């Protein structure tokens, strides 16, 4: 157990519960990271600044070395009951951290890199899973339209299973982004597109994924250079956006990163 632990006050409980809502996250510039695995990953990443940690004694003991560089007054040992009062999870998991919003430097698009562009993705679980998928396939940058669910939504962060700390997320006009980079190939998943498995991918480019209910918006669809679709054999009406992203990224990776060398 660490020394000089700071307890949690009723005012702090109220303040943390407010961070469950987007409005207060934006006002305070803080978001929530929960669970042993997630916070352990957070402690390894110096690019994220931790504001405070609220934890049971067990986690503090296990992570005492990783926590030694944090100010003692930012570490709060609390009971499981108190953790339940501030947690966003149905089953709270030993620790909750408050983290400052990451500061993203301006990015320079590289022609030979893969980027994912998300248009109007509203479901937090979908966005979180797409971040995790991007991390799996080595795609380190995602652009979200302003209509997408906020990336620091606790359900998004939780669904990434730690990938949130490795994949950079930007919110911007996707149409403007594409127009500013006219040399890049722009792939988009649409129902009337070419069979994915008969399509040819370039080394880099943009992959546009729309929402499951509305697809890619008309303005963005007009900017696609390659319309592709995932062929279906069964009778399902549609695919979840995160599943569609994973399937397309898998084929893109197979063609580019695992193609036979001459």
pLDDT of residue 262: 46
- Kindly report the pTM of this predicted structure: 0.91
* DSSP for residue 59: H
**Confidence at residue 160, expressed as pLDDT on a 0 to 100 scale:** 95
Instruction: Give me the pLDDT at residue 3, please.
Output: 44
Give the whole-number percent of the chain exceeding pLDDT 90. Answer: 84
Domains defined along the chain, listed by start: 10-100 (3.30.1330.30), 114-257 (3.40.1280.10)
Q: Which helix (H) or strand (E) holds 55?
A: strand 50-55
Query: Tens-of-pLDDT digits for all 262 residues of the chain?
Result: 444 456 788 999 999 999 999 999 999 999 999 999 999 999 998 889 999 999 999 999 999 999 998 988 899 999 999 999 999 999 989 999 999 998 888 889 999 999 999 999 999 999 999 999 999 999 999 999 999 999 999 999 999 999 999 999 999 999 999 999 999 999 999 989 999 999 999 999 999 999 988 899 999 999 999 999 999 999 988 889 999 999 999 999 999 998 755 4
Q: Nearest-CA neighbor of 113 among 261, 252, 258, 244? A: 252
Q: What is the pLDDT of residue 46?
A: 86
The sign of the CA dihedral 181, 186, 190, 193 is positive
> Which residue has tokens 């006002």?
27
What one-character DSSP code corresponds to residue 46? T
Q: What would the two tokens of residue 251 be?
A: 């084929």
pLDDT for res 214: 87
φ, ψ of residue 195 to 5 degrees: the values are -50, 125
């Amino acid at each position: 157990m660490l020394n000089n632990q700071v307890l949690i006050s009723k005012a702090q409980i109220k303040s943390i519960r407010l961070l469950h809502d987007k409005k207060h996250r934006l006002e305070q510039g803080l978001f929530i990271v929960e669970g042993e695995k997630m916070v352990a990953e957070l402690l390894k990443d110096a690019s994220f600044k931790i504001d405070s940690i609220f934890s049971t004694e067990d986690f503090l003991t296990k992570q005492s070395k990783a926590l030694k560089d944090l100010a003692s007054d930012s570490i709060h040992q609390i009971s499981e009951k108190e953790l339940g009062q501030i947690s966003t999870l149905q089953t709270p998991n030993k620790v909750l951290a408050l983290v400052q919003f990451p500061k993203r430097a301006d990015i320079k698009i590289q022609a030979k890199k893969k980027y994912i562009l998300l248009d109007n993705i509203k479901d937090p679980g979908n966005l979180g899973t797409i971040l995790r998928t991007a991390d799996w396939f080595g795609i380190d940058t995602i652009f979200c339209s302003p209509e997408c669910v906020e990336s620091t939504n606790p359900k998004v962060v939780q669904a990434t299973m730690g990938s949130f700390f490795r994949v950079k997320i930007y919110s911007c006009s996707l149409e403007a982004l594409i127009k500013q980079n006219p040399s890049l190939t722009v792939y988009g998943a649409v129902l009337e597109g070419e069979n994915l498995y008969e399509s040819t991918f370039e080394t880099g480019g943009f992959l546009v994924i729309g929402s499951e209910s509305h697809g890619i918006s008309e303005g963005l669809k007009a900017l696609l250079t390659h319309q592709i679709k995932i062929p279906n054999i069964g009778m399902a009406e549609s695919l979840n956006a995160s599943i569609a992203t994973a399937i397309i990224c898998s084929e893109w990776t197979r063609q580019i990163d695992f193609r036979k060398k001459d």
